[in-house]
Amino acid sequence: MHFFPFDFYLITCLLSFVFTLVAVPIWKKGCNFLNIVDDPGHRKIHHVPTPLAGGPAIFSALFLVLLTGIIAAFVFPSLLGSNAISPSSPAFLHGIGSRAPQLIVMLLGSCGMVLLGVFDDKYEIPAIWKFLGQLLIAGFTAAAGLRITVFVPSLLFSYAITILWILTVTNALNFLDNMNGLCAGLGIIVAWGCAWIAAVQGQYLVALMAFAVTGSLLGFLPYNFPKATAFLGDAGSHLVGYWCAILTILPHYYSSQQFNISKWVVLFPLMLLVIPLGDLAFVIFLRWRTGQPIYIGDTNHISHRLVRRGFSHSHAVLLILLAASAVCFLAVYAMTH
């Protein structure tokens, strides 16, 4: 196992947190000015128009953190204070060469998801066009080289499973963006799990990216839970879903040189996302059985069912996040022991 200096992970997470705290109020004003707001209505629990500022704010904060990191690494390398992470060190150069293209793909795909979501938040585009936009972004991600293999030596299979994974996870998180703090909270848990696994295995750039995502989502949470003054919107829920899909692809979970590790560790992403994926499968089955289009929202999600059983909205969200955290902890523990 390899551990990257913890202070750099902490700094990355804190910077993302602070940048998002600052970015959200700015984007709230912009969304109010452009009328990108969520009005009260059917199946809504808020009573005043609320800006859909989460997606642009979180993405812009992450971008600024990465830009700050690049400047610090190449313009002020002495600030890093360690030969192990010097821009001229072999380890750093190897990481840049192998991971930087994937992280660029992730940023471009994230930008695409935010733009798609903002367009939908503003104009409420038909579901088929939104799905085609998601498909285009997922296809670009796979074509750019960020793909799943799962020990199957088939390029066609790799493309198909990657696109299916991105579409499934993105929509699973989008579907669960139905109560304050739920989607962002699940994103924090998944990002932290991926960050920890990447850090333990010495995948420094992946870990830094995942910790940056964790911090940016944490910075949004005070504006979204328990009372919301800003929502993720489709831009934010698409972004969180895409990040969860990509962050679970980026780390290497298995190495032929590590003989004590089972190939079943590739199921780690499914463990991290078991709650949103299980909820997605359940509501799709119910909608199919009742003849309802799967893209028409309803109140059959796990969060709604907990509320109907007497939990408050906040307590229902906290219970789901507690369960997701427990599964994440078990998954990380199993991967590292």
Residue 318 three-state SS: helix
Q: Which two tokens stand for residue 272?
A: 């991290």
Q: Is the pLDDT of residue 2 over 80?
A: no
Euclidean distance between CA atoms 110 and 216, whole angstroms: 14
Euclidean distance between CA atoms 89 and 97, whole angstroms: 12
pLDDT in tens, 67-112: 887 777 666 655 555 544 555 555 555 556 566 788 888 899 999 9
Task: State residue 71's pLDDT score.
Answer: 78
- Three-state secondary structure string covering 36-100: CEECCCCCCCCCCCEECCHHHHHHHHHHHHHHHHHHHHHCCHHHCCCHHHCCCCHHHHHHHHHHH
Phi, psi of 335 (to 5 degrees): -75, -25
Other beta carbons less than 10 A from residue 302's beta carbon: 20
pLDDT in tens, 312-327: 999 999 999 999 999 9
Averaging pLDDT over each range in 16-20, 103-107, 147-151, 292-296, which range is the top one? Answer: 16-20
Task: State residue 263's pLDDT score.
Answer: 56
Task: State residue 264's pLDDT score.
Answer: 58
Average pLDDT score, the chain: 85
Alpha helices by DSSP H, the chain: 6-34, 54-74, 90-123, 127-143, 155-175, 182-200, 204-220, 233-247, 268-272, 274-290, 302-308, 313-336
Domain boundaries along the sequence of the chain:
6-259
Task: State residue 1's pLDDT score.
Answer: 44
pLDDT in tens, 33-47: 999 998 876 555 656
Task: State residue 256's pLDDT score.
Answer: 46
Task: State residue 152's pLDDT score.
Answer: 73
